[in-house]
Amino acid sequence: MRRRPRKWRPRKARPSARAGRRTTRDPDGILDVTALPADDPGHPKAPLHILQMCTMFGVGGISRHVLDYSAWLRARGHRVSFAGTPNAWLNAELESDFLPLPTQKVAGEEGASLASRLGFAARSALDLRRWLAGNRVDLIHAHESAPGLVARLATLGSATPLAVTYHGSEPGRVKQFGSIARLADLVITPSHRSGADLVKVGGVSPERLKVIGLGVKTAPVPEPARVAQTRARLLGEGGERLVVTIARITEQKGIDILIDCVKRLIPLHPEFRFALVGDGPQEAEAHAWAEAAGVTSHLTFVGRSAEPQLYLRAADAFLLTSRWEALPFTIAEAFQAGTPAIATDCSGCAELIDASVGRIVPIGDVEAICGAVTEVLTDDEARAAMASAALVRSREARFSPDHIHAELESVYRALATRPRARV
C-alpha cells in the first residue's frame, strides 16, 4: 500500500537547547534575541554576572579602569564580583562581593622563586574554583597575566568564558603574556600597537584579539582661584613655566629619566619648574636621585592627589617619561584640561598625541625629551593652539566612558552566549 505524500508546510521556528538555555532561531538559523527569556544572557536586556580579576587593587590606572567600568555595569543592572589581592582601592571592607586571592604573589615579588609563584597560583585557583561552585558567573574578565592564569586553572573542565586584558608591560614580557593570553577566549587591549605586539611577539591569534580604548570620566573643574594658587606655589620665586607629571613612582614611569631631564634643563632654562604628582614604591629612591642631581629647587614632589585636574590646569605642559605603557589615562586627562602633552613613544601614547596637541619623543632619550619640552614652553602661540586642539580631542568618542563601556558590555554579552567547548 503506497503512502500518501505529506503536504509540505513551512517549518516553524523551534527552540534549541545549549548549555541549559533555550534559544529561538528562525528557519535560516538566525538567533532571535527578542524571543529569549528575559534572564537569558543572550537577551539584550538580561543582567549578566561578571567576575573582574586584578593582580592587586591598588592605586593606579588598571584598578581605576576596572572600578569605573564596574560601577557603570552595576548601574545597568549587572552583577559584578571582584577577585584579587586587596589593597587601598578595593578590599573586603569596601566591597562585600569580593574574593581575596594572593594573585600579587602569583605575579611575583622581587626575588620570588618560580616554585613559590606556581604554588600561589595553585592555591588561588583552588580558592576561586570553590567560590565559582557557589557563584555562577557568565564570564570572567582578568586584567593582566597572573589573574588570567589563575582564572584558567580554576575553570578547567568548565565552559566559563574568559577574557584577558593586556594593559602593557616591558617589551621582554610580551611573549610571556601571550603564552597565558592564548588560553583565553578573548584578549582585549586598549591600543592598536599593543595589539600588534601581542600578535607578532605574543603569538595571539588576531581572531581572538579586540582593541577597546579606556573611557575617561570628565573630572570636576576646580575653582580658578585654587588653580592660580597652585600654579603660583609650584612656580615659586623666579618660575615662569610649569611642567606637570602625574604618575606612579615606579620603574615603568621613568622618574629617573624625568630627573635627568630637569638636571639638563636647569642651566638652559632656569625659569622652568617641574612638579611630580603621585607616589609609589620608588618614592624614597626618587627623592634621593633628585637630591643627588641637585634639582630639588626646580622639582616639587607633590605626593598622591585625588585632584589631577587641579595640577593639569595649573600647568603649561604635561610630561610622561614612561618606559612602557598601553594607553595612559593621564594623557586624556591632560587633554580635558586643555594642556599640551609630551610623552615617550610607548604603544598607545602615539595613538593619542600628534604635533597638533603635543610631542612624541623616543623612550629614554633625554636630549629629545628636553628639546620637546623647550619647544613647547618657549612658543606661546603654538602652545595656545595645542591647548585648544587638546580640548577638542578630549571630546572624541574614543574617550567617552559611555561609548567605551557600551562596547565592552556588547563584547561581554557576545562572549557569554557564544558556543564554547569545555576546557
Q: How far apart are CA 60 and CA 349, in angstroms?
A: 17
- Picking from 339, 299, 343, the residue whose alpha carbon sits closest to that of residue 316 is 339
**Which CATH architecture is the domain 49-215+401-417 placed in?**
3-Layer(aba) Sandwich (3.40)
Could you report the average pLDDT of every consecutive run of 10 residues in the chain (423 residues)? 47 39 45 51 78 92 91 96 94 94 86 86 97 97 96 95 92 91 95 94 95 89 97 97 97 97 98 97 97 98 95 98 92 96 93 97 98 98 98 93 94 87 62
- Please give the pLDDT value at position 13: 39
Instruction: Please check whether residue 337 is in contact with residue 224, taking contact to mean a CB–CB distance below 8 angstroms.
Output: no
Arithmetic mean of pLDDT over the chain: 89
**Tens digits of residue pLDDT in 20-59:** 444 444 444 444 444 445 555 555 678 999 999 999 998 8
**Tens digits of residue pLDDT in 145-156:** 999 999 999 999
**What is the CATH code of the structural domain delimited by 224-399?**
3.40.50.2000
C-alpha 217: how far from its chain's center?
13
- Please give the pLDDT value at position 5: 47
Show me where the domains of the chain are located. Answer: 49-215+401-417, 224-399
- CA angle 317/331/218 to nearest 5° reads 105
- Please give the pLDDT value at position 27: 45
Residue in this structure with the C-alpha cell 601614547, named with its chain if needed? 349
C-alpha cell at 75: 548601574
- Please give the pLDDT value at position 418: 80
Q: How far apart are CA 51 and CA 90, in angstroms?
A: 14
3-class secondary-structure state, position 16? strand
- Please give the pLDDT value at position 12: 42
**Tens digits of residue pLDDT in 303-341:** 999 999 999 999 999 999 999 998 898 999 999 999 999
- Please give the pLDDT value at position 43: 58
C-alpha cell at 122: 595553585
The reply to whether domains 49-215+401-417 and 224-399 share a CATH topology is: yes
> CB 68: neighbour CB atoms within 10 A?
18
Instruction: Please check whether residue 190 is in contact with residue 209, taking contact to mean a CB–CB distance below 8 angstroms.
Output: no
